[in-house]
Amino acid sequence: MSTTSPTLSIGGLTAFTTIDFPDHLAAVIFCQGCAWRCGYCQNTSLLDRHVQPTLTWQQVEAFLVRRQGLLDAVVFSGGEPTLQKGLLEAMQRVRDLGFKVGLHTAGMHSKRLAELLPFLDWIGFDIKAPFQNYAAITGVANSGKQPLESTKRVLESGIAYEFRTTVHPQLLNESDVLALATSLADLGVQRYVLQDCRTQHCLEPSLQNLSYNEILANENLIQAIRVLIPQMIIRKM
């Protein structure tokens, strides 16, 4: 093990999961800090990058050494992991330990993402809204530009991916979802997940307690999207 450590603010670790990297047993490292403030964000404790990290890289790496041969992969999640200066080095260290590397991102930093892609085995990419409407979800003006660029880079790279959109009916209507799926299909996306919104811990209190997600129950809409992207999955909570 190297004596220096990647610069990474770590807010948590999931030791074992089967759902964060498809078909793999994985650990998840949660990075602190995010530039956006999506109303439905569930990881609110990770948003502020100035909060004292809960784990050091040395602790995480020691854990991973103990899991060699038991886990297939390590996923970097957040927050927004691509904002971490030390992410590339951390990924290399994880790879050196023999694990595959996954990334959860919202694609908000396309240049850094492009640098990371050669070190990734799989990416879960959160697409928030039609690219021109991002601010309505993220609270940040012009925030769709970087994800559009990142989407193109992921598709060009040939890496395995899952694009997914969290659907909250107060933030996206059916026309939004269809327009978004159409633009993703036009870009060449072939695997797309529409996922239900967990609302119990939403950053924005008015979005909590969603009892029925009529968009994900709309069979006509789902069929229309399946025509565009055959590998389309509905993920309900």
Task: List the structure tokens of 34.
Answer: 């995010």
> Could you tell me the two tokens for 16?
């074992």
How many of the chain's residues bind ligand SF4 (CB under 6 A)?
A: 11
User: Identity (one letter) of the amino acid at 122?
Assistant: W
Identify the residue among 12, 21, 26, 43 touching ligand SF4 (CB under 6 A): 43
Joined together, the tokens standing for residue 72 give 């297939």
Among 83, 87, 103, 106, binds ligand SF4 (CB under 6 A): 106
27, 41, 116, 194: which one binds ligand SF4 (CB under 6 A): 41
**Interacting residue with ligand SF4 among 26, 27, 28, 34 (CB under 6 A):** 34
Binding flag, residue 37, ligand SF4 (CB under 6 A): yes
Q: Confirm or reject binding of residue 26 to ligand SF4 (CB under 6 A).
A: no
CB burial of residue 68 (10 Å; 0-12, 13-18, 19+): exposed
Q: What is the CA radius of gyration of the chain?
A: 18
Report phi then psi at 55, rounded to 5.
-135, 150
Determine the interface stretch with ligand SF4 among 29-37, 52-60, 91-99, 176-184 (rule: CB under 6 A).
Answer: 29-37
Which residue, 106 or 184, has its beta carbon nearer to ligand SF4?
A: 106
Structure-token pair, residue 157: 């790279």
Q: Which of 47, 28, 31, 50 is closest to 39 using CA atoms?
A: 47
Task: Give me the sign of the Cα torsion angle 116, 118, 121, 127.
Answer: positive
Binding map of ligand SF4 across residues 48-87, x = CB under 6 A, - = no contact:
------------------------------xxx-------
The residue within the footprint of ligand SF4, chosen from 13, 22, 25, 36 (CB under 6 A), is 36
3-class SS at 18?
A: coil
Beta carbon nearer to ligand SF4, 79 or 102: 79
Q: Closer to ligand SF4 at the Cβ: 6 or 78?
A: 78
The nearest distance, CB 8 to ligand SF4, in angstroms, is 16
Q: In angstroms, give the least distance from the CB of 4 to ligand SF4.
A: 28
Distance of closest approach, residue 78 Cβ to ligand SF4, in angstroms:
5
Whether residue 81 contacts residue 103, with contact meaning beta carbons closer than 8 Å, is answered with yes
Instruction: Kindly identify the residues of this chain, within the stretch 181-200, that bind ligand SF4 according to CB under 6 A.
Output: none
Hey, how many other C-beta atoms are within 10 angstroms of the C-beta on 187?
Answer: 14
What are phi and psi for residue 232, nearest 5 degrees? -115, 130
Chosen residue from 8, 26, 27, 38 binding ligand SF4 by CB under 6 A: 38
What distance in Å separates the CA atoms of residue 191 and residue 162, rounded to the nearest whole number?
6
Query: Interface residues with ligand SF4 (CB under 6 A)?
Result: 34, 36-38, 41, 43, 47, 78-80, 106
